[in-house]
Structures are given as C-alpha cells and as structure tokens.
C-alpha cells in the first residue's frame, strides 16, 4: 500500500486551480501518479470529468472534495475521499457552503477599494472558472497580474489574511456537518494540511478530538505545506489519535505550486494509508 503513488489532493478550474480536470489527469499520469483524487473546494462539478479523464489516461480514481469549515474562529479544510458524488445531503451541504461566496467577494472588493485598489471584484471574477466559486486565490492572481503584488506570497502577507485589507471573515460549514456529509456519502473525512492552522495546542487538541468524535478518520501527513518537521509532528498525531494518513500535493497551478503532482515523499511505514480503507471505493482504470 505504501508504495502506491497516491496524490489525493489538488484543484482544477472548477475551484481555484488553473488546469482543467482533463489536464490534471494527464499531468498526474505523466508525473507517475497511480491513484488520484481531484478535491475542488466545496464543489463536485468536476468529479465526472475527473473520473472519466482518469480512466482514459489509466489512473485509479477516488472521488474527492475539500470542504471549508469554521472552527475556533479560523478556517479549517476537511477533505472527503471516496464519496458518492450523487449523495443529496452532501450536494446540498456544499451548495449551502458556497452560497455566501458572491457576497463575500463583493465585500472583499470593497475592502480593497477602501485602501485605493479599485476593480478587484471584477478582476477576481474574471480569473474564476466557476462564478459560484470566487476565492481568495482569484483575488491573489488579479493582484499579481496588475502588479500590485509580486507573487501570491506577497499577496497573502499584505492582503486577504486576518487583519489585512481585503480579508472578510466567512462562516463556513461546521466541523460536525462537514464530517457528517462525507460519512453519509460513504467517504472518509481527512483533516487537510494541519500545520497551516494557527491554533494553540489546546485548540489543535480540540480539533482532533472533535473530528474523531464526529467520525473523522484520517489526517494529511504528506502535503506541500508541510516541512519535514511538520511531517514528523503529524506522524505523531496520526499515531496518538489512531488516524489513517493521507498524501496530497494540494497542486493548484504549474506556475504557483511548489510541489508537483505525485512528487511528495511516501508516507512513513508506521502509518496506515487512508487508501487502504478505500479499496472498494476506487474506480479502477
Ligand atoms: P478562500 O476559500 O476564498 O478563503 O481561499 C482559500 C484559498 O486561498 C486556499 O485554498 C489557497 O488556495 C489560497 N491561500 C490561502 N492562504 C494562502 C497563502 N498564504 N499562500 C497562497 N495561497 C493561499
Ligand atoms: Mn485553494
Ligand atoms: Mn486547503
Ligand atoms: Mn486544497
């Protein structure tokens, strides 16, 4: 199981990636991926295309999604793997989660206008492949394209993060609901990139405990945002909380992503890969 090149986290133009599901499947195959999942933010519209493209290039496929959750006044991402993409409660929950985005994007545009950056809403929307899903990533691409910022790192340092112009807090799904929708759709819920959150030790403990109490079963250990010491730390968490481990590049774009599809190190042998519990949910190429 450990030697399968699984990449179970990335984004297409259906959310905030720059490649189509078909281009991602081709690229994943070309970079050695064997088991793939497209995990667009709060949206399943890309799943039939991804599954069909995976089959045509010869990749095993798991349906996926990355759900935005509010927890302790921060945003946490919960990946769902092996979900039934026709599940009505999941589809409705995701539609509800997406529904505030247009209003939030307008408010982000107004917040940037107040510091002298006009036209951001229209600019970000023009970068979005899905009008339902205007994200901070699209604002970031526009801010770079206009020369206001050097790169995405510069954007998030100066704008779009708590306390900075362009940041608008949003109430996303609850942890209980997100994990419940994923489980109800036959999938496994995964805490995405845990090192990215700015929680105290107590808050992080509460996240893992509540996630488990709701039936969450896995944590991303290998992911682009994790340093070697983050990996070591969350190996410890996976063992401590009895969680399965996942591996995903979180690839968004050839121009922006530091880690290529399929290029992360394997999971450490002490951990059980999440895909070992999802064998019957895999669409075989
Ligand atoms: P949103 O869901 O609209 O809040 O946008 C969140 C997205 O912004 C994430 O999925 C990332 O793709 C991107 N993002 C957030 N923080 C950063 C960062 N510091 N650097 C680059 N991209 C980021
Ligand atoms: Mn993203
Ligand atoms: Mn994420
Ligand atoms: Mn992601």
The pLDDT, as a whole number, for residue 58 is 98
**pLDDT tops 90 at residue 134:** yes
CB within 8 Å of 203: residues ≥ 6 apart? 72
Write the residue with the smallest CA distance to atom 4 of ligand 1.
136
pLDDT classification of 118: cutoffs 50, 70, 90: very high
Write the residue with the smallest CA distance to atom 13 of ligand 1.
137
pLDDT digits (tens, 9 = 90+) for 181-205: 999 999 999 999 999 999 999 999 9
pLDDT digits (tens, 9 = 90+) for 88-114: 999 999 999 999 999 999 999 999 999
% of the chain exceeding 70 in pLDDT: 100
Q: Name the residue among 194, 265, 176 with its Cα closest to residue 236.
A: 194
The pLDDT, as a whole number, for residue 140 is 98
The pair phi, psi for residue 224, each rounded to 5°, is -55, -35
Give the mean pLDDT of the chain. Answer: 98
Q: Which residues of 174-211 are buried (b: 16+ CB within 10 A; e: fewer)?
A: ebebbbbbbbbbbbbbbbbbbbbbeeeeeebeebbebb
Pairing of strands 244-248, 218-223: parallel
Which secondary structure element, helix H or strand E, spans residue 173, and what is its range? none
Distances (CA, A) of 35 to 49, 80, 89, 153, 218: 16, 15, 26, 30, 17
Query: Average pLDDT in the 139-168 region?
Result: 97
**pLDDT tops 90 at residue 64:** yes
pLDDT classification of 2: cutoffs 50, 70, 90: confident
Using only C-alpha atoms, the chain has a radius of gyration, in whole angstroms, of 18
What are the tokens at 196? 């990215």
Query: Average pLDDT in the 144-149 region?
Result: 97
With vertex at residue 89, the alpha carbon angle to CA 84 and CA 92, rounded to the nearest 5 degrees, is 110
Which secondary structure element, helix H or strand E, spans residue 264, and what is its range? none
Query: Average pLDDT in the 134-141 region?
Result: 98
The pair phi, psi for residue 116, each rounded to 5°, is 95, 10
% of the chain exceeding 90 in pLDDT: 99
Q: Which residues of 251-283 are buried (b: 16+ CB within 10 A; e: fewer)?
A: bbeeebbebbbbbbeebeeebbbbbebbeebbe
Q: In what order do the strands lie in the sheet with 244-248?
A: 64-71, 74-81, 188-191, 218-223, 244-248
pLDDT digits (tens, 9 = 90+) for 208-259: 999 999 999 999 999 999 999 999 999 999 999 999 999 999 999 999 999 9
Question: Do 10 and 257 touch, CB atoms closer than 8 A?
Answer: no
Instruction: Among 42, 104, 156, name the best residue to mutate to test ligand 1's pocket (greatest count of ligand atoms within 8 A of Cβ).
Output: 156
pLDDT digits (tens, 9 = 90+) for 20-52: 999 999 999 999 999 999 999 999 999 999 999
Q: Which ligand is nearest to the CA of 248?
A: 4
Residues in the ligand 1 pocket, defined by CB under 6 Å? 16, 41, 68, 135-137, 152, 156, 252
pLDDT digits (tens, 9 = 90+) for 209-223: 999 999 999 999 999
């Amino acid at each position: 199981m450990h030697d399968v090149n699984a990449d179970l986290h990335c984004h297409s133009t259906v959310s905030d990636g720059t490649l189509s599901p078909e281009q991602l499947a081709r690229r994943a195959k070309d970079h050695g991926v064997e088991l793939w999942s497209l995990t667009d933010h709060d949206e399943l519209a890309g799943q039939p295309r991804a599954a069909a493209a995976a089959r045509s290039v010869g990749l095993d496929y798991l349906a996926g999604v990355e759900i935005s959750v509010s927890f302790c006044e921060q945003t946490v991402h919960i990946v769902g793997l092996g979900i039934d993409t026709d599940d009505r409660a999941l589809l409705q929950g995701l539609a509800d989660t997406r529904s505030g985005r247009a209003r939030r994007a307008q408010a982000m545009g107004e917040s940037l206008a107040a510091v002298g950056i006009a036209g951001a809403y229209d600019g970000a929307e023009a970068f979005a492949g899905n009008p339902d899903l205007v994200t901070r990533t699209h604002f970031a691409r526009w801010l770079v394209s206009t020369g206001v910022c050097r790169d995405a790192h510069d954007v998030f340092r100066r704008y779009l993060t708590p306390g900075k112009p362009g940041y608008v807090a949003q109430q996303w799904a609850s942890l209980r609901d997100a994990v419940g929708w994923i489980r109800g759709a036959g999938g496994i819920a995964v805490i995405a990139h845990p090192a990215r959150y700015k929680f105290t030790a107590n808050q992080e403990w509460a996240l893992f405990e509540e996630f488990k109490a709701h039936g969450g079963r896995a944590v991303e250990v290998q992911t682009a945002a994790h340093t070697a010491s983050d990996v070591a730390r969350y190996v410890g968490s996976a063992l401590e909380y009895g969680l399965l481990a996942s591996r995903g590049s979180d690839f968004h774009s050839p121009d922006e992503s530091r880690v290529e599809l399929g290029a992360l190190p394997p999971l450490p042998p002490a951990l059980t890969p999440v895909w070992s519990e999802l064998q019957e949910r895999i669409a075989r190429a």
